[in-house]
Every structure is written in C-alpha cells, then in structure tokens.
Amino acid sequence: MGSVAQRWFGAFLETVKTHDGSITLREAAECGELKLWTQALTGVVVGTFPQMGWRGAAREHKSNLLPISRSEYLALDAVAFESAGDQRWRFPVGVFELENSLDDDLVAYSLWKVLCVRASLRVVFCYRWDASEGAGLVRHLADEVVQSMENPDAICPWWRNACYRWIAKRIRDISLRILQRLDARRQYGALPSKLIGTDYGAQTLV
C-alpha cells in the first residue's frame, strides 16, 4: 500500500495532469508569475486531498471540519486532516508550504515551519527559474535546517542523534531522486518545467 508520502506523491502526479489549474500552473511557472503560480499550485495540492480521504484548508479553500472554520490554520499554506472520525479537534495528517520566494532563507523558514508541526506528511514546494538549482537548494536545506536543529527529538521524539544524521542524509538523497523523477515527468508534459516539489515528511518518499 505504501507510506503516506508515497501515496500522496502518486496522487499529486495524477492530479497535476488533470486538474483545471494545471495549465495555469505551467504558464505561470514559465512566465515567472509567482503569485499566480502559488494560487494554481494551491488548487492542485488541495485537489489531491479527496484521493487521500482527506479534507483540508488553504487560501480560497475554507474548511469547516474543525469547530473554527478557517482558510488557513497555523499560518500554513495548506493543512489536511483525515475526514473520518467524529473528533472536534484533531492533528493534521499533512502540512504544506508553497514558497515562491527566491530567498533561500525564506524557503528554509517554510521547511522549519512544517518540521515544527506534528504530521505524517510535511511538504515544501519552492520555485526556481532554473530547475538545475533544485539539487543545490535541497542540499542547503538539509544541511542548514534539518541537521542544524538544536533538538532533533523535538521534531520526532523517537529519533536519536545518530539516526537523525542518517535521516538527514536520506532526505537529501531521496529529495534529489524526487527532483529527477519530476524532471522526467516534465519532459513528457506532465509537470510545469519550473515546479520543484520536495517532501520532507516524517515518512519520506522511497
């Protein structure tokens, strides 16, 4: 059946090929219209939720699942919850940041935000004009954010320091593989050429 991250990534690849906002996403990426890019990508991300059995919230996608209705929770771009169950309050199953800034530190801030949230899936999207910049950015984020967190146990209590260093390396390696897969899909017209998607979830894509 696969991990949450694997299943969501598959849902994302399917959704981005058929979603109403996919053409807008491609055009915005090619033209560098970052506000429009973020808006279209938000729609695609939220579009993956029904396939996962989730309900979520994002800008222009208000949720009434929790007692307090919001378009955004926890100052995150998109938050997903399991739709099953009758709990009035619940932990998110997935958290997403869609960062369109070209500033590496703002991308790092988005990563730091999702790492501070208890969720099975944590995803950061970012934009770079040249897709070849993605590999260097992934390494930068793994080195500057993941490995430099002073208390890795605060992110996932069951991780220990030695294991955490191994996980940081796995995040780097796996994220580069994700970028390669996304680039291969782009060549066949399935993805916008300037879209870089990186999963830093508690469950990583393998």
Pair type for strands 94-99 and 121-127 = parallel
**Total domains, the chain:** 1
User: How far apart (Å, rounded) are the C-alpha atoms in residues 65 and 68?
Assistant: 8
Establish if 168 belongs to a structural domain. yes
**Which residue shows structure tokens 């991990």?**
3
In the prediction, which pLDDT does 185 show?
A: 52
* 206 residues of the chain, pLDDT tens digit each: 678 999 999 999 999 999 999 999 999 999 999 999 999 999 999 999 999 999 999 999 999 999 999 999 999 999 999 998 888 999 999 999 999 999 999 999 999 999 999 999 999 999 988 878 888 888 888 888 988 775 555 554 443 344 344 444 444 445 555 555 555 455 444 444 444 444 434 443 32
Q: Specify if 204 maps to a domain.
A: no
Do residues 58 and 71 lie in contact, with contact meaning Cβ atoms separated by under 8 Å? yes
In angstroms, the CA 159 to CA 186 distance is 35
- Kindly state the DSSP code that residue 122 receives in the 8-state scheme: E
The residue range of the domain holding 194 is 4-199
Residue 206 located in a structural domain: no
